[in-house]
Amino acid sequence: MLESIMKNKILVTGGAGYIGTHTCIALHEAGYEIVVYDNLSNSSREAINRVSALISQPIEFIEGDIRDAESLKQVFATHQFFGVIHFAGLKAVGESVAKPLLYYNNNVSGTITLLEVMTEYDVKNLVFSSSATVYGDPETLPIDENSKRSCTNPYGQSKLTVEHILEDLAVSDDSWNLIPLRYFNPVGAHPSGQIGEDPNDIPNNLMPYISQVAVGKLAKLNIFGNDYPTTDGTGVRDFIHVTDLAQGHVAALNYLEQQVAPVGFLPINLGTGKGTSVLELVTAFSNVSGQSIPYQFAERRAGDIASCYASADKAKNLLEWQAKLSITEMCQDSWRWQSMNPNGYNVKDI
């Protein structure tokens, strides 16, 4: 039997992952009721346990795959959701080049299945995890939401394809509210040190790599390129604290709750608007942690761009959200998580 209508009940797909866990906490603190749906392909029950401990109540967790329509239908039949925050997806660029079908199947087909079930149950509010990767190599900086989109790898292509699907859906039926949030570079961890990013194997991304060098798990950082047209020759990115990012999702839901007319397709950048170079991040991390971060310059990494940072005006104007935390706080929280959990959750196979 359906529960009574709850405007603030949210399905969080991929809610056991890095950004999802932080967002679950922010949603709970903002008064939303959450149901997490995750197949644990890149996360663990331990992450859910820790979120439950941090919010001092059990999380409603369903182990399931977004490609499994019957399982999703069961969830929608037992809960009446105001909307869905859709984090579930695979995110490793290199792996996507090696396994494109897996990425299109998981990220694109999975999203189509979710949208079909949402249609069937008349749940028309969606916040989708998109990425600054949809802008490819930007023509101008800062990057605003009207910038040209193009992608060079299957992961990015899967995000862009989902965006196109959402645009078409909004045209076909004007009752949808579809907000792709285009994240810039999420880093940092919950200030408790209890949850954070827990990459499998050797990290691909900069911040977890630096953290693992600082904690002594990796010997040396390779800095990919020191001849970019940037202040110090290293790549520049818009690093954003994951708890700020989490608040951006709460702001997007608040915005949807306030609307009297559907918003259709409404892409919004989540970034700080500030660029930080790889070398600047290494220095900041070293200062905060008191650890030396040995590094060497290496060849540019294929597919990397020189600089990428957001125009964050749309989020500020529409959602009344802006990032608050500094690079120092991002490094402090990443370091706390890494030093308290040198092996991450360490329970992936349970």
Strand partners, 85: 12, 127
Q: Is 130 in the site for ligand UFG (CB under 6 A)?
A: no
Q: Is 285 in the site for ligand NAD (CB under 6 A)?
A: no
Nearer to ligand UFG, 8 or 283 (CB): 283
Report the nearest approach of ligand NAD to the CB of residue 292 (Å): 26
Q: Is 42 in the site for ligand NAD (CB under 6 A)?
A: yes
Candidate segments 85-93, 95-103, 136-144, 327-335, binder of ligand NAD by CB under 6 A: 85-93
Q: Is 234 in the site for ligand NAD (CB under 6 A)?
A: no
Query: φ and ψ at 209, to 5 degrees?
Result: -65, -50
Report the nearest approach of ligand UFG to the CB of residue 15 (Å): 19
Contact set for ligand UFG, span 275-304 (CB under 6 A): 278, 301, 304
Query: Which helix (H) or strand (E) is 187 found in, with range?
Result: strand 185-187
Which residue of the set 135, 155, 255, 309 is catalytic? 155
- Taking CB atoms, the residue at the shortest distance from ligand NAD is 17
Helix (H, G, I), strand (E, B) or coil at 57: coil
Question: 38, 47, 35: which is closest to 14 by C-alpha?
Answer: 38
**CA 207 from centre of chain:** 14
Q: 247, 320 in Cβ contact below 8 A?
A: no
| DSSP-H helix ranges across 175-293 | 206-214, 242-258, 278-289
Q: Is 237 in the site for ligand UFG (CB under 6 A)?
A: yes
Q: Is 87 in the site for ligand NAD (CB under 6 A)?
A: yes
CA angle 39, 217, 194 (to 5 degrees): 50
Compute CA distances 187 → 93, 207, 266, whole Å: 17, 7, 24
Q: 117, 69 in Cβ contact below 8 A?
A: yes
Q: 19, 245 in Cβ contact below 8 A?
A: yes
Enter the tokens of residue 70: 């019957």
- The entry of ligand NAD, ligand UFG, none that residue 304 binds, CB within 5 to 8 Å by partner kind: ligand UFG
Contact set for ligand NAD, span 13-32 (CB under 6 A): 13-14, 16-20
Q: Is 331 in the site for ligand UFG (CB under 6 A)?
A: no
List interacting residues with ligand NAD (CB under 6 A): 13-14, 16-20, 38-43, 65-67, 87-91, 106, 110, 129, 131, 183, 186
List interacting residues with ligand UFG (CB under 6 A): 91, 93, 131-133, 183-185, 204-206, 209, 221-224, 235, 237, 278, 301, 304
Question: Catalytic amino acids?
Answer: 155
